[in-house]
Amino acid sequence: MTGQVLLTMRGISKYFPGVRALENVDFTLRAGEVHALMGENGAGKSTLIKVLTGVYPKDGGEILMDGKSISPSSPLEAQKCNISTVYQEVNLCPNLTVAENIFIGREPRKAGRIDWKTINRRAAELLKQLNLEIDVTKTLDNYSVAVQQMIAIARAVDVDAKVLILDEPTSSLDENETSRLFDVVRGLKKQGLGVVFVSHFLDQIYELCDRVTVLRNGELVGAYEIEKLPRVELISKMIGKELGDIQSMGKNDAAERGEVLIEAKGLTAFGRIKDFDLTVHKGEVIGFAGLLGSGRTETAELLFGVAKPEKGTLKLGGSEIRFATPLDAMHHKIAFCPEDRKVQGIIGDLTVRENIIIGLQAKNGMWSHIPMKEQERIAEEYIKLLQIKVSSPEQLIKNLSGGNQQKAIIARWLVTEPNLLILDEPTRGIDIGTKTEIQKMVIRLAREKQMAIIFISSEIDEMTRTCTRLAVLRDRKKVTELSGDEIYPDRVMAAIAGGV
Ligand SMILES: Nc1ncnc2c1ncn2[C@@H]1O[C@H](COP(=O)(O)OP(=O)(O)OP(=O)(O)O)[C@@H](O)[C@H]1O
Ligand SMILES: [Mg+2]
């Protein structure tokens, strides 16, 4: 049961130079409801949340909390109004301990001194409520992005919140962690909290949420009860047109594969992967399927020279090779687009053009000059190819929406025109329309440019649509390969789980 209205946002507008991020948007949140905020990349979801939490001043409209007008001018002030947030990009400090991250800025004190014992104990207790039993005295960078996300949530729920905002909290969580988080959210809902939930995962929206507010191009499309809104209608409200194209995308019916490009035999690196064999042909899209922690990313890193194998061989075009560094791998026309775009990806204070060109610049050598005209041409070509929403290529990348930053990083690797492109969760956080575009692009690159692509994704549907072959990993070993007719969701799921 949902209760009375907790929070009202009325007629909210927000403009950035050249961008109308929000125009006259209304939003209401009731006590005890989980309210989804949906829309394509750049629709204005994060901006609405940042206006609510005082990160950005609003250019119009008003915010009422419990019937009283508020206008927080910082997240801390918002917190004092009982509004707590976990942002899309985890913003914790990697070199502080887990416990410090949870209590930073509000450390319990004893006789004027920070009371570390209490901090550590309370942090451990809090995380235990989220079913996370880890050493809270270790620094944050010891833990995966998924765990860091849970820590951010622990921090957010520990303050006296009436409204909890989760901006794409699950995009780096696996199924287990997600269902744990959902249990936590349901518990908070029972206590009467209002939860705002931003996500691109339809299944999750239907599983968890009571209502949904849809934004498109900075405008309100409407607010709906989830139960009464069929999925197809929700999607067409988001993209502003009928479905057709998205549903009609078929499978990647394996085109001719070319000659052998790269061959791994018995690759082993302690704690990463054991005895990994794989032969990659030109023109293939090979999926690495498996749960979080199964060794997908770690294996990709071995192929790209991020880590070095202790045993085993790697052959490229028939001759044995060892990559000393990722740059070395790049010179051999291998590209790797990493999973964690915040840490390994964007350089916030550079423009979109510069962020895209960096890939080429690194490959060509820092001193080789790429004429400005050429840079502009390339940037524009890829902005168009990936439909990156920018006001201009000269916009700072940190001002793009999360999904559009992700696309720019993919562009960075595409410009190097690799023979082997490794994409680690390329569609995470990307809206459903563009997701399909990226999948199509992958298939096109393989077919038309004979590029070999290694595609890592946690979404089985997209793997089965996009890949011509799957390497299934479990517990840091390749357990089987699937190809052709074997690639369908139930079979893949069973292979991942260890049923067959
Ligand atoms: N600080 C900023 N400066 C300039 N433009 C910005 C800034 N922040 C956001 N924008 C622009 O406002 C628009 C809305 O962005 P927002 O981040 O709210 O999208 P979103 O709905 O959260 O998308 P995503 O699903 O990709 O996270 C985008 O066009 C974005 O480029
Ligand atoms: Mg966003």
Work out how many domains the chain is built from and give that number. Answer: 2
352 lines ligand 1 (CB under 6 A): no
Q: Are 345 and 398 in contact (CB under 8 A)?
A: no
Q: Is 213 in the pocket of ligand 1 (CB under 6 A)?
A: no
Q: Rounded CA gap, 78 and 161, in Å? A: 10
Mean pLDDT of the 466-483 span: 93
Alpha helices, DSSP H, located in 284-430: 296-303, 326-331, 352-364, 372-385, 402-414
Average pLDDT, integer, range 229-258: 71
Output DSSP code: residue 254.
-
Do residues 148 and 340 touch, judged by C-beta distance below 8 A? no
Note whether 227 and 269 are same-domain residues. no
Min mean pLDDT across 182-186, 221-225, 245-249, 441-445 is at 245-249
Residue 251 falls inside a structural domain = no
Task: Report CA(144)–ligand 2 centroid distance (Å).
Answer: 21
Query: Is 65 a pocket residue for ligand 1 (Cβ < 6 Å)?
Result: no
Per the listing, tokens 């006001």 go with 391
Residues 70 and 143 in one domain: yes
Mean pLDDT, the chain, integer: 88
pLDDT for res 194 = 95
Domain-located, residue 252: no
pLDDT at 499: 54
**Is the pLDDT assigned to residue 500 strictly greater than 50?**
no
Q: What is the mean pLDDT of residues 281-294?
A: 90
DSSP string, 191-208: TT-EEEEE-S-HHHHHHH
Is residue 390's pLDDT more than 80? yes
Of 187, 207, 239, which residue constitutes the final position of a domain? 239
Residue 225 lies in a domain: yes
The rounded percent of the chain whose pLDDT value lies above 70 is 94
Distances (CA, A) of 80 to 70, 74, 169, 188, 413: 11, 10, 22, 18, 43
Contacts of 458 (CB under 8 A, 6+ apart): 174, 175, 291, 292, 425, 428
**Same domain for 221 and 265?**
no
Higher pLDDT, 400 or 28: 28
Listed in sequence order, the residues at least 6 apart from 85 whose beta carbon sits closer than 8 Å to its beta carbon are 49, 53, 75, 78, 156, 164, 165, 166, 167
Output the pLDDT for position 343.
Answer: 53
Relative to the alpha carbon of 37, which ligand is closest?
1
Q: Is 403 in the pocket of ligand 1 (CB under 6 A)?
A: yes
DSSP percent split of the chain into helix, strand, coil, nearest 5? 40, 25, 35
* 43 Cα–ligand 2 center, Å: 8
Write the CATH number for 467.
Answer: 3.40.50.300
37 lines ligand 1 (CB under 6 A): no
Give me the helix-helix angle, 352-364 and 402-414, nearest 10°. 30
Check if the beta carbon of residue 305 is closer than 8 Å to that of residue 326: yes
Buried b (16+ CB within 10 A) or exposed e, 159-185: eebbbbbbbbbbbbbbeebbebbbebb
Residue 39 tokens read as 């829309």
Rounded distance between C-alpha atoms, residue 171 and residue 184, angstroms: 17
The maximal CA–CA distance of the chain, rounded, in angstroms, is 73
- Whether 254 maps to a domain, the answer reads no
Residue located nearest, by CA, to atom 9 of ligand 1: 399
DSSP track, 94-153: TTSBHHHHHHTTS--EETTEE-HHHHHHHHHHHHHHTT----TTSBGGGS-HHHHHHHHH
Is the same domain home to 354 and 214? no
| Full-model pTM | 0.72
User: Which atom of ligand 1 is closest in space to residue 56's alpha carbon?
Assistant: 1
Cβ of 272 below 6 Å from ligand 1: no
Comparison of pLDDT for 444 and 90, the residue scoring more:
444
Query: Ligand 1, atom 3: nearest CA belongs to which residue?
Result: 399
- Residue 341 and residue 424 in contact, taking contact as beta carbons nearer than 8 Å: no
Contact in structure between 98 and 140 (CB atoms under 8 Å): yes
- Rounded distance from Cα 202 to ligand 1 centre (Å): 21
Together in a domain, 272 and 214: no
**From the CB of 279, is ligand 1 less than 6 Å away?**
no
Q: How many other CB atoms sit within 10 Å of the CB of residue 250?
A: 7
Task: Say if residue 289 is in the same domain as residue 393.
Answer: yes
Counting from 1 in the atom list of ligand 1, the atom nearest the Cα of 17 is 4
Structure tokens at 144: 């995966």
Average pLDDT over residues 255-266: 88
Q: Are residues 182 and 313 in the same domain?
A: no
Give the closest residue to 12 by CA, choosing from 237, 273, 219: 219
Of the listed ranges 12-21, 160-169, 252-261, 409-418, the least confidently predicted one is 252-261
The answer to whether the CB of 21 is under 6 A from ligand 1 is: yes
Q: Using an 8 Å Cβ cutoff, are 273 and 293 in contact?
A: no
Residues 153 and 231 in one domain: yes
Which of 239, 271, 295 is the last residue before a domain boundary?
A: 239
The domain in which residue 269 lies consists of 260-497
- Give the burial string for 114-148 (b: 16+ CB within 10 Å, else e): eebeebbebbbebbeebebebebeeebeebbebbb
| Lowest mean pLDDT across 12-26, 261-275, 341-355 | 341-355
> What is residue 28's DSSP assignment?
E
Residue nearest to atom 18 of ligand 1 (CA): 44
pLDDT at 350 over 70: yes
Same-domain check for residues 231 and 273: no
Across residues 394-401, what is the average pLDDT?
91
Q: Going by DSSP bridges, is the β-strand pair 211-216/219-225 parallel, antiparallel, or unpaired?
A: antiparallel
- Does any ligand 1 atom lie closer than 6 A to the CB of residue 433? no
Q: What is the pLDDT of residue 150?
A: 78
pLDDT at 383 exceeding the cut of 90: yes
Strands 285-289 and 469-474: what pairing? parallel
* 200 plus 319 within the same structural domain: no
Angle between helical axes of 372-385 and 402-414 (0-180°, round to 10) = 120
In whole angstroms, what is the distance from residue 414 CA to residue 391 CA?
A: 21
Virtual torsion, Cα 211, 215, 216, 222, nearest 10 deg: 60
Residues 165-212 have pLDDT tens digits of: 998 877 667 777 788 788 888 988 988 999 999 988 888 899 999 999
Q: Are 235 and 299 found together in one domain?
A: no
* Residue at 159 is within a domain: yes
Residues 211 and 267 in one domain: no
Flag whether 28 is in a domain.
yes
**What is the bridge-based pairing of β-strands 319-320 and 311-316?**
antiparallel
Closest CA to 240 of 223, 215, 203, 205: 215
pLDDT band at 498 (very low <50, low <70, confident <90, very high): confident
Report the C-alpha gap between 287 and 451 in whole angstroms.
Answer: 14
Q: Is residue 403 part of a domain?
A: yes
Residue 398 Cα, ligand 1 centroid: separation in angstroms? 9
* Residue 196 covered by a domain: yes
Of 204, 239, 274, the position where a domain reaches its end is 239
Q: How far apart are CA 324 and CA 314, in angstroms?
A: 12
What's the pLDDT at 341? 57
Question: Taking 70 as the threshold, does the pLDDT of residue 248 lie above it?
Answer: no
